[in-house]
Chains A and B, each alone.
Chain A
Amino acid sequence: DAGVIQSPRHEVTEMGQEVTLRCKPISGHDYLFWYRQTMMRGLELLIYFNNNVPIDDSGMPEDRFSAKMPNASFSTLKIQPSEPRDSAVYFCASSFRYEQFFGPGTRLTVL
């Protein structure tokens, strides 16, 4: 298996623009997680899905953030409109039986 795949790896955008991050989990995994990592706050869980259904989105910072999982092999995290404080590395992870496997991350810079 190729592991968790994320795209793009780097994204630079201007404040106010819409940003869409993509994730393909490991085949057969039934949980998918979105995290954000910054120097100040470390690694924070934003939202997670079980069998494509959002279970806990309490970590989503505000309504500008949304996430979807239309099928077992694809998820998106969307920020609209983006702000400079959204600059961070966003990780997707998937798990089966509670061991998490992380993707390489998307480094987002909002100017």
Chain B
Amino acid sequence: KQEVTQIPAALSVPEGENLVLNCSFTDSAIYNLQWFRQDPGKGLTSLLLIQSSQREQTSGRLNASLDKSSGRSTLYIAASQPGDSATYLCAVKDNYGQNFVFGPGTRLSVLP
């Protein structure tokens, strides 16, 4: 059974810092991995989708990497801003169906 973990559970940084969020999964037979952002009391917003054949994806100040063999993905946020404060979740889709397994999330606070 696929299990997804995220470290750290919470992170607080000053504005302007570059930071890395980590996502680990136990079964490397994944189809893709998706990073989401969730603001308090809101739904999930898709940030980046990485297919299993890809190594990384970039969108603006965000860069997500994928290493299937080691069961890891990282989300890199450059020049963090207070507006980046949210919970970031990763989710993996396996090869066997449409089952997406979510990590518990990392709660990020960017201090002005």
Instruction: Tell me the count of chain B residues lying within 8 A, CB to CB, of chain A.
Output: 23
Q: Are A43 and B102 closer than 8 Å at their CB atoms? A: yes
Contact flag A104-B102 (CB < 8 Å), given A55-B97, A98-B31: no
Q: Are B34 and A91 closer than 8 Å at their CB atoms? A: no
The answer to whether B100 has its CB under 8 Å from any CB of chain A is: yes
Q: Are A103 and B43 closer than 8 Å at their CB atoms? A: yes
Give residues of chain B (7-44) contacting chain A, Cβ–Cβ below 8 Å.
31-32, 34, 36, 41-44
CA distance in complex: A45, B91 (Å): 11
The answer to whether A34 has its CB under 8 Å from any CB of chain B is: no
**A14-37 interface code vs B (CB 8 A; 1 in, 0 out):** 000000000000000001010000
Contact flag A100-B91 (CB < 8 Å), given A33-B100, A50-B98: yes
CA distance in complex: A93, B38 (Å): 14
CA distance in complex: A16, B111 (Å): 45
Our pick among A4, A50, A100, A103 for the contact of B100 (Cβ within 8 Å) is A100
Contact flag A102-B93 (CB < 8 Å), given A55-B98, A56-B98: no
A22 to chain B, nearest CB (A): 15
Q: Are A98 and B104 closer than 8 Å at their CB atoms? A: no
Binding site for A on B (CB under 8 A): 31-32, 34, 36, 41-46, 49, 89, 91, 93, 97-105
Binding site for B on A (CB under 8 A): 4, 31, 33, 42-43, 45, 48, 50, 55-56, 91, 93, 95, 98-105, 107
User: What would 6 A/B residue contacts be, using CB atoms closer than 8 Å?
Assistant: A4-B43, A45-B101, A100-B44, A102-B36, A102-B43, A102-B44
